[in-house]
Structure 1
Amino acid sequence: MKRSQIASLIFGMLLLPLAVLLTAVPAYAAANTATFAKTSDWGSGYQAQFTITNNGSSALNGWSVAFDLPSGSSVGTYWDALLTQSGSHYTFTNRDYNGSIAAGASTTFGFVASGSGTPTGCTLNGAACGGGGGGGGSDTQAPTTPTGLTVTGHTSSSVSLSWTASTDNVGVTGYDVYQGSSLATTVSGTSATVTGLSASTSYSFTVRAKDAAGNLSASSASVSATTDSGGGGGGGAGVFSPYVDITMATPTLKDVATATGQKHFTLAFALADSTGCNPSWGGTIALNDSRVIGEVNDLKSVGGDVTVATGGANGPYLENTCGSSAALLAAYKKALDAVGSNHIDVDVEASIPVAQVNTALKQLQSERGTTVTYTLRVQAQDYGVDPFSVQILQDAASRGLNVTVNPMLMDFGYSGSWGDALISAANATLGQMKQIWTGKSDADLKRMLGLTPMIGKNDTGPTTTQAIARQVLSYAQTNHVGYIGFWSVGRDNGGCPNGSVSPTCSGISQSTYEFTNIFKGFTG
Structure 2
Amino acid sequence: MSSGVRRRSSVVGSASARCAVLALFLLGACGSPPPAPAIGSVAPYVYVGGALPALAEVSAATGVRRFVLSFLLAAEGHCAPRWSQGRAVADQALLAQAQQVRDAGGALTVASGGARGRYLEHACSTPHQLADAYGRALSLTGADTLDVDVERPVPVERVASALALARQRHGVSLVVTVPVRDAETGLGSQALALLRALDRRDVPVTANAMIMNLPQRDDWRRTLFAAAERVTSQLQRLWRLPDRSDAYARLGLTFMAGRNDTGPVTTRADARALREFATDRAVGFLGFWSLGRDNGDCPGLPTAVGHCSGIRQPVHAFTRSLAEGPRPAQPTVGRTAP
TM-score normalised according to structure 2 size: 0.85
Match status 1:521 vs 2:324: yes
Q: Residues 522, 376 of structure 1: CA spacing in aligned structure 2 closer, same or farther, 3 A cutoff?
A: farther
How far did residue 476 of structure 1 move?
0.7
Q: Which residue of 1 aligns with 2:312?
A: 509
More divergent stretch after superposition (251-260 vs 463-472): 251-260
Structure number with the higher helix fraction is 2
Letter in 2 for 1:518: S
Q: Give the alignment of 1:240-279 within 5 angstroms.
A: 240-274=42-76, 276-279=78-81
Match status 1:239 vs 2:41: yes
Question: What 5-or-longer segments of structure 2 have no aligned partner?
Answer: 1-7, 28-38, 327-338
Letter in 2 for 1:404: T
Match status 1:291 vs 2:93: yes
How far did residue 467 of structure 1 move?
1.4
Match status 1:493 vs 2:295: yes
Q: Residues 489, 197 of structure 1: CA spacing in aligned structure 2 closer, same or farther, 3 A cutoff?
A: farther
Do the aligned residues in 2 keep the contact of 1:197 with 1:447 (CA within 8 Å)?
no
Q: Give the alignment of 1:223-372 within 5 angstroms.
A: 226-229=23-26, 238-274=40-76, 276-282=78-84, 284-372=86-174
Q: Which residue of 2 aligns with 1:473?
A: 275
Do the aligned residues in 2 keep the contact of 1:272 with 1:283 (CA within 8 Å)?
no
Do the aligned residues in 2 keep the contact of 1:320 with 1:352 (CA within 8 Å)?
yes
Q: Residues 359, 295 of structure 1: CA spacing in aligned structure 2 closer, same or farther, 3 A cutoff?
A: same
Q: How many residues align structurally?
A: 306
Do the aligned residues in 1 keep the contact of 2:74 with 2:80 (CA within 8 Å)?
yes
Do the aligned residues in 2 keep the contact of 1:158 with 1:197 (CA within 8 Å)?
no
Question: What 5-or-longer segments of structure 1 have no aligned partner?
Answer: 1-155, 160-178, 185-195, 204-224, 231-236
The 3-state SS of whatever aligns with 1:379 is coil
TM-score normalised according to structure 1 size: 0.56
Letter in 2 for 1:512: V
**Larger Rg computed on CA atoms:** 1
- In structure 2, C-alpha distance between the alignment counterparts of 1:448 and 1:401, rounded to whole Å: 12
How far did residue 479 of structure 1 move?
1.0
Do the aligned residues in 1 keep the contact of 2:79 with 2:123 (CA within 8 Å)?
yes
Letter in 1 for 2:20: S
How far did residue 250 of structure 1 move?
3.7
Superposed CA deviations along residues 216-261 of structure 1, whole A, max 9, x for unmatched, are xxxxxxxxx942218xxxxxx9410110011222422122112212
Q: Which residue of 2 aligns with 1:68?
A: none
Q: Residues 340, 501 of structure 1: CA spacing in aligned structure 2 closer, same or farther, 3 A cutoff?
A: same
- In structure 1, C-alpha distance between the alignment counterparts of 2:112 and 2:214, rounded to whole Å: 21
Do the aligned residues in 2 keep the contact of 1:157 with 1:197 (CA within 8 Å)?
no
Q: Percent of counterpart pairs with the same letter?
A: 35
How far did residue 367 of structure 1 move?
3.1
* Aligned match for 1:406, one of 208, 211, 218: 208
Task: Work out which structure has the larger RCO, using CA pairs closer than 8 Å and 6 or more positions apart in sequence.
Answer: 2
Match status 1:388 vs 2:206: no
- In structure 1, C-alpha distance between the alignment counterparts of 2:278 and 2:67, rounded to whole Å: 19
Q: Residues 316, 389 of structure 1: CA spacing in aligned structure 2 closer, same or farther, 3 A cutoff?
A: same
- In structure 2, C-alpha distance between the alignment counterparts of 1:363 and 1:340, rounded to whole Å: 17
Superposed CA deviations along residues 274-333 of structure 1, whole A, max 9, x for unmatched, are 160000111511111111111111222211111000000012111011011110011111
Q: Give the alignment of 1:155-174 within 5 angstroms.
A: none
More divergent stretch after superposition (345-354 vs 406-415): 406-415
* Aligned match for 2:20, one of 172, 197, 202: 202
Do the aligned residues in 1 keep the contact of 2:272 with 2:321 (CA within 8 Å)?
yes
Q: Which residue of 1 aligns with 2:333?
A: none
Superposed CA deviations along residues 432-487 of structure 1, whole A, max 9, x for unmatched, are 11221114521111100011000100001000011111221121111111110000
Q: Give the alignment of 1:91-240 within 5 angstroms.
A: 198=18, 201-202=19-20, 226-229=23-26, 238-240=40-42
The 3-state SS of whatever aligns with 1:384 is coil
The 3-state SS of whatever aligns with 1:262 is coil
Letter in 1 for 2:25: D
Structure 1 runs (4+) greater than 3 angstroms displaced: 156-159
How far did residue 405 of structure 1 move?
0.7
The 3-state SS of whatever aligns with 1:344 is strand
More divergent stretch after superposition (238-247 vs 422-431): 238-247
More divergent stretch after superposition (442-451 vs 282-291): 282-291
- In structure 2, C-alpha distance between the alignment counterparts of 1:490 and 1:197, rounded to whole Å: 36
Structure number with the higher strand fraction is 1
Match status 1:458 vs 2:255: no
